[in-house]
Amino acid sequence: MPIIIDNDLRTMSIPSDLTLLGVESDDDVKKIEFQMPKTYCGFDLSEFEVRVNYMNAHGDGDLYIADDVTVSGDNLTFTWLVGRSACMYKGLTQFIVCLKKFDSNSVVVQEFNTTVYSLPVLKGLETTEIVEQQNPDIIEYILKLIDQAGILNPDDYYTKQQVDALIPTELPNPEALTINGNTYDGSEPVDLTIVAQNEVVQTVTAKMIHVVDAVPGAVEDLKLYDSNSQAIASAEIAVSNKNLFRIDLIDNQVVSKGITFTKNQDGSISATGTSTDSNAQTVCEIDKNCFTTGKVYTLSSNKALGSVVVRLDFTFIDESTLTVNALNEQKSFSLSKVVSSCIASVTVPNTNTYVNEKVYPQLEVNDYATSFAMNEYESIDFDGSEMPELPASISNVWSNDDTVASIEMSYTANTVFTAIDSYMGDNFKIDLPTGNLISQWDGVYTVSLGME
């Protein structure tokens, strides 16, 4: 159940089953859903940027920018993916929802806020020595906005106004900045340098491998083994992006029991017509070997209203069956038996009239639904002697050969942006590794990329 915001009272109704924010050091494992009216005093809030401002139990403030705001009828829905800084300390984390509207010069012209609420963070035990940076969410937000603005081009120059528009205003008090061990007083311009961490090679062994941090073209080595841990000389392997739902196998148009199902270019499936019987559907088959016991899968329709269902029908090797439906909410599940077949469908369960009702089918290895992506799938013959040419982007790897019991894959992990020397603002300068404000400067920005 989502947190319901009352626009007039500026209050939030916390559902009874939402009793805590997390445990100390939790990071990006909990999503909190919000719902609020789309309009306030005649203003369309869907034109505003939505953020959650929060302060952890230690008094450290930060913000989260909602990137999944959707309009559902008369309501806005969005989620807060709770990061480590919100769960850094045991106690109460306070938060509000803040909406801001900007003009063409990125100046705030309207702002809407709720009153303050809080949720508890329980005591945990962090056994790894870590160094925490201030304001990691702000850093990620700036990187995201810079990337979206298309200004990550080496050695290009941009006006102060262009880059200032990307900077949030809620930041801590000024502190000293050190660059390469030397204190910097802000008197001279400094390049905005993005440095990626050194590449790290990861090795994973599983029947079905799921990775979230592989760089394009990352796979360096691949080995296949049978149930006796003996190497297999050759077999068919399958690779996909995060979406395992085989939209590519669904026909472009199917008429079933009075309903016309149409596959659209964006990957959505539309249902139109008056059903003459229950369970009109368009179907495809998903590779059985992409399902393994112990993994959590989430099925989603990526819609909030309507009655068209995204459905999975499993048959297991003991001939038992299971049906998983996702209507207007995501459905997470795990399997305790070996799958012998899986039929996926977009289904109209009841007799009714439908006018272009769309679903965006997605099945992913995750305990919650992420943003929709059209599925990408490729089957490759692997002869065991040399690396096959794999797609640039890989999230899932498995084999369609039943003799393959496990796959060992070595790949290069994603080069994450870990440091930015500095950023000059209109009346301030920001040390992005710490989020601290420093000094003043006025001039032209240089954006450059670097690898260590």
Confidence (pTM): 0.52
Return the bridge partners of 35, or none: 4, 77
Under DSSP, the state recorded for 289 is G
Write out residues in the chain with pLDDT < 70, as ranges: 105-106, 126-201, 213-218, 392-393, 413-452
Q: Token pair of 83, please?
A: 């990061």
* pLDDT computed for residue 123 by the predictor: 86
One DSSP character per residue, 152-167 reads --TTEEE-HHHHHTT-
Q: How many CA atoms lie within 13 A of 375 on its CB side?
A: 23
Q: How many CA atoms lie within 13 A of 260 on its CB side?
A: 8
* pLDDT computed for residue 152 by the predictor: 36
The per-residue pLDDT for range 343-384, each reduced to its tens digit, is 999 999 888 899 999 999 999 998 888 889 899 998 888 887
Rounded to whole angstroms, the Cα distance separating 30 from 299 reads 17
Return the bridge partners of 53, or none: 63, 96
